[in-house]
Amino acid sequence: MAEPILEVQSLCTHLPTKRGLVRAVDGVSFSVRPGEIVGVVGESGCGKSTLCFSLVRLLPDTAQHSGRILFRGEDLLAKSREEMRAIRGKDITMVLQNPMTALDPVYTVGNQLREILRFNADMTPGERTRRAIEMLRQVHIPSPEERLENYPHQMSGGMKQRVLTAMATGLKPGLLLADEPTTALDVTIQEQILGLFAEIRDRLGTAIILVTHDLGVVRRLCDRVLIMYAGRIIETGETEAIFQEPQHPYTRALLASIPKMGEERTRLQAIAGQIPDLTGLPPGCSFEPRCPRAMEICRTTYPPAFARGPGREARCWLHEEAGAT
């Protein structure tokens, strides 16, 4: 099996606020191999975006990080601002939720594509234009020569997300972070963009971390899944294993919240209760106040990760007899 391209070890990202220290990412470990699509799932506010922004160090300077983020074997937490900027422009890229605001309204799409190339590759202006056209063609934008002259407002939301995907993948990154890339788009366009991601993975071998509320998308597209709750990964495993035999009561609750056939696709439906305040997590299992199977030990002691089969772990005391990893 290929070596991981990304290995995150005990990553914490704590954010000072007026209310106190928000433990948005709190001891997260996982790895991603080249060409793998890893889904990140969990309710709103559980730290998914903070995890992505931590990986590329795009949080305010006040953010406190600890742990290691090994990308191609090098710790990103030890990199300078300049080094991170270079990595972000080329080797680890992002596609975010809102294509409406992610493009600069005052420059044409062509200028924005050429700008990326200017920073990252040694090319003549003519070469940059040819390459920009090629980048648009790769994401199936019709008449790319004409589209280069468009301003963002002349494009639909789906078209803009294609342009952003072209920008994020045109330099063949090793890792693409996609944080709810299709939430703002209608269903048909969503499908096209997600199809594009799968194609990019197949063609370029790019690893993708895909944050999404849509468990149907996870099941179709992701090789593995990280289930996040209150800043921590509480279950991981291969996608089918997670869907067929969820091991953590929170994962079960999430899967039970999937809208049934015929119901309108929505964000995750509410699970009774709320996620805990990340400025003051209880000492025990953070899901305990909502968990139908909570026991005495759950109130006092945070569960370690218990092995639940090859590549599978769950942080839940129900699996204590199996032994911690």
Ligand X SMILES: Nc1ncnc2c1ncn2[C@@H]1O[C@H](COP(=O)(O)OP(=O)(O)OP(=O)(O)O)[C@@H](O)[C@H]1O
- 239 scored as a contact of Mg ion (CB under 5 A): no
Contacts (CB under 6 A) with ligand X, residues 58-87: 60
Q: Which is nearer to ligand SF4, 243 or 302 (CB)?
A: 302
By CB under 5 A, the residues from 32 to 51 that bind Mg ion are 49
Contact stretch for ligand X (CB under 6 A) within 45-53, 64-72, 149-157, 294-302: 45-53
Of positions 14, 48, 290, 319, contacts ligand X by CB under 6 A: 48
| Of residues 245-304, those binding ligand SF4 (CB under 6 A) | 248-249, 285, 287-288, 291, 293-295, 298, 303
Among 319, 280, 313, CA closest to 298 = 319
Which among ligand X, Mg ion, ligand SF4, none contacts residue 293 (Cβ within 5 to 8 A by kind)? ligand SF4
Residue 17 interacts with ligand X (CB under 6 A)? yes
Number of residues that bind Mg ion (CB under 5 A): 1
When asked if residue 22 is in the footprint of ligand X (CB under 6 A), the reply is: yes
Cβ distance to ligand X smaller for residue 61 or 321 = 61
Dig out the tokens for 37 from the structure: 């699509």
Phi/psi of residue 263, nearest 5 degrees: -80, 150
44: region left, alpha or beta (phi > 0 left; psi from -120 to 50 alpha): beta
Q: How far is the CB of 322 from ligand SF4 (least distance, A)?
A: 13
Record the tokens describing residue 307, joined without a space.
């092995």
Does the footprint of Mg ion cover residue 54 (CB under 5 A)? Answer: no
Using CB under 6 A, which residues numbered 25 to 44 contact ligand X?
A: 42, 44
Residues 135-164 that bind ligand SF4 (CB under 6 A): none
Tell me the window of 14-22, 216-224, 271-279, 312-320 that interacts with ligand SF4 (CB under 6 A): 312-320
Does residue 15 bind ligand X (CB under 6 A)?
Answer: yes
Backbone angles phi, psi at 240, to 5 degrees: -65, -40
Contact 26/195 with Cβ under 8 angstroms? no
State the nearest-atom distance from the C-beta of 14 to ligand X, in Å. 9
Pairing state between β 74-75 and 64-71? antiparallel
Sequence-separated contacts (24+) of 279-286 with Cβ below 8 Å: 279/17, 279/19, 279/20, 279/21, 279/22, 279/23, 280/20, 281/23, 281/26, 281/230, 281/231, 285/315, 285/316, 285/317, 286/229, 286/230, 286/232
Q: Taking the CB of residue 153, how many other CB atoms lie within 10 A of it? A: 9
Q: Phi and psi dihedrals of 38, rounded to 5?
A: -110, 125
| CB 29 to ligand SF4: min, Å | 18
Best CA proximity match to 180, nearest among 194, 196, 198: 194
* Dist. CA 102–CA 96, nearest whole Å: 8
Residues that bind ligand SF4 (CB under 6 A): 248-249, 285, 287-288, 291, 293-295, 298, 303, 316-318
